[in-house]
Chains A and B, each alone.
Chain A
Amino acid sequence: MSAVLFDTPGPHTRRRTAIWSLVAGVVLAIVVVLAAVRLAQRGIFDADRWDIFTESTESWEALLRRGLGATLRAAGVAAVISLTAGALLAVARMSSSAWMRVPATIGIELFRGLPVLLLILFTALGFGSSIFIAVVIGLSLYNTAVIAEILRAGIQSLPGGQREAALAIGLSPGQTLRMILLPQAVRRMLPSLVSQLVVLLKDTSLGFVVGYAELLRTSRELRDFFGSRYIFSIFVVTAAIYIGVNFALSRFATYLEKHGTTRAAGGPAKQVPMDSRNA
């Protein structure tokens, strides 16, 4: 709560705020109830539109085991590749040698500026790879560039003393980066990194355009199989799964922010820049 914008409320204000709160709450409740009634009238809540979920576990299995499984598989592989390659790319980006720095910078700007969907299509259609590989590579190309930038920001936010001390005891710039700065940067930017992994997970759904049988496409298959009367229930369940998984991941990021970043020099990053370039 932003106490910076308003004084701690006195009794009058508290009462006024409470009234506003109540009014807003009532208006909201009315809207929700009206919507629900309208939906019920159209039969959205009828049991026979939800029976594929209530009467058997087959649909659940299809969505969770096959769909979510495929999503997590692609996301997992892409995450591992992106984290490793991202670290390497960050090192190259900050290298003193222009031979490494310039191509790294160009690569990063290039892949950050292109939609992930386009990168997936490039790999699938242009290089004829399998769909899984196309999705993983598309995701990895993009996220490697982003993670490289996150790590670079992390390294630059470390206190200068770290680098100076490392050089003073005789480590080369490369060794400094690898052994002293990078590990601390990772610890510091952990929340940012995990947020990026959430973005990565969401982007696996782009695979449905090229036919990757991840969660969204599996839910579409269910719709094709059972008919469009089930579309609302299928959508709700799919959304719940996505939101649930991503929310858990985000909460994990918040937990890390509180507990994990104190071991980096200079303490937790004061203003963790949410890289808004990858909404």
Chain B
Amino acid sequence: MSVRRLRGLAATAALALLLTACGGDDDAATEVESGAEFKAGTTMAKLADKGKITIGTKFDQPLFGLRGPSGDPEGFDVEIGKIIAAKLGIEPDKIKWIETVSANREPFIEDGRVDIVVATYTINDDRKKIIDFAGPYFQAGQTILVKEANTDINGPDDLAGKTVCSVEGSTPAANIETSYPDVKLELTDAYSNCLEPLRNDQVDAITTDNVILAGFVDQNEGEFKLAGEPFTEEPYGVGLKRGDDAFRTFLNDTLEESYKDGSWDKAWESTAGKVLELPSPPAVDRY
């Protein structure tokens, strides 16, 4: 007990030192919870005891989960992950980040390779059959990215007969296939691969969640723009192992607390908030 408290204090001190040393003004300084106690046998207790957590996130999504040359990912999802870890008494540098691409998020949770997944992970019923979700912690929506000068595409209905780029196995791609079948899809393994083809008119548009596309708009000043309003609802949730209700309750509690104590806002402002307006957090769904 006291060992954990000492460790927690030391961790907080180390974190404070680390932050001042970096001069990192962008850090949403999540305060690591010292002396957090959990019921024995729960996932939270196990993780807190280990002092380490493995979080799956995206490495190629600007604003949400993007890995830079330093080797660690940065973004809103990453900050949410840090908030959760902090509640478990785990410092940010003890988090092991693993890249989860759209196709391997469920398998990685199932086989325990990651403890949680915070990776622009849309909650839907199909996935709920395999894993559980805490949250949602953010509401996104599918939309379309086109070149700045483009005027013919203003919504999904204008895509008929056009070529659209998206990612193999993703929800946006599946959505287009089912609801807009006369669209020609070019699929690849990462949204960022679609930018060059769009620039060269090899595809007419890119489709995925609005926040991902907003990141691309920001990164390539003036070249692209979003066409129209989001036409679906993509609630992002934290993926965890199916049936772990205690952990899910803990995660939902943590998220709600972050809405109230301002850490959610801070997480947003330090990452996606640099490009997008601060939205209001969605209500958590405890099913």
Contact = CB atoms under 8 A, between A and B. Distances in A.
**Do A and B contact each other directly (Cβ–Cβ < 8 Å)?**
yes
A225 B220 contact: no
A227 B101 contact: no
Contacts of B220: 227-228
Contact of A58 (B60, B62, B69, B113): B69
A243 to B, nearest CB: 22
Contacts of A225: 66-69
Interface string B50-72: 00000000011010001111110
Contacts of B59: 221
Query: In the complex, which of the residues A52, A59, A128 has the most CB atoms of chain B within 10 Å of its own CB atom?
Result: A128
B189 A58 contact: no
B99 A224 contact: no
A59 B190 CA distance: 21
Contacts of B192: 220, 223-224
Interface of A: 52, 58-59, 61-62, 66, 128, 130, 209, 211, 213, 220-225, 227-228, 231
Interface of B: 59-60, 62, 66-71, 99, 101, 104, 107, 111, 113, 189-190, 192, 195-196, 199, 219-220
Contacts of A59: 69
Nearest to A231: B196
A224 B111 contact: no
Nearest to B192: A224
A184 B199 CA distance: 57
A224 B66 contact: yes
Q: Considering the complex of A and B, which 9 residue pairs feature the smallest CB-CB distances, nearest first?
A: A62-B69, A58-B69, A224-B192, A225-B68, A59-B69, A224-B60, A227-B219, A221-B67, A211-B101
18 contacts: A58-B70, A62-B71, A128-B107, A130-B113, A211-B104, A211-B189, A221-B59, A221-B60, A221-B67, A221-B68, A223-B192, A224-B60, A224-B62, A224-B66, A224-B190, A225-B68, A227-B219, A227-B220
Contacts of A228: 195-196, 199, 220
Contacts, number: 45
B69 A128 contact: no
Contacts of B199: 228
B196 A222 contact: no
B196 A66 contact: no
A227 B70 CA distance: 16
A215 B220 CA distance: 24
Nearest to B196: A228
A58 B72 CA distance: 12
A225 B59 CA distance: 9
Given A211-B99, A224-B190, A228-B199, 8 more contacts: A58-B68, A128-B111, A211-B101, A211-B189, A220-B60, A227-B220, A228-B195, A228-B220
A231 B70 CA distance: 18
Contacts of B71: 62, 66
B286 to A, nearest CB: 31
Contacts of B99: 211, 213
B21 to A, nearest CB: 17
A225 B104 CA distance: 22
A197 to B, nearest CB: 28
Contacts of A213: 99
Contacts of B66: 224-225
Nearest to B100: A211
Contacts of A222: 69
Query: In the complex, which of the residues A66, A209, A224 has the most CB atoms of chain B within 10 Å of its own CB atom?
Result: A224
Contacts of B190: 220, 224
A130 B112 CA distance: 12
A250 to B, nearest CB: 29
Nearest to A221: B67
A223 B190 CA distance: 12
A61 B72 CA distance: 13
A222 B69 CA distance: 7
Nearest to B215: A224
A116 B70 CA distance: 31
Contacts of A61: 69
B188 to A, nearest CB: 10
A52 B68 CA distance: 11
Contacts of B107: 128
A213 B70 CA distance: 14
B159 to A, nearest CB: 24
A52 B69 CA distance: 10
Contacts of B67: 221, 225
A225 B69 CA distance: 8
Contacts of B60: 220-221, 224
A108 B62 CA distance: 45
B204 to A, nearest CB: 19
A266 B113 CA distance: 54
A209 B101 CA distance: 11
Nearest to A66: B71
Query: In the complex, which of the residues A62, A209, A231 has the most CB atoms of chain B within 10 Å of its own CB atom?
Result: A62
Contacts of B70: 58, 62
A225 B190 CA distance: 13
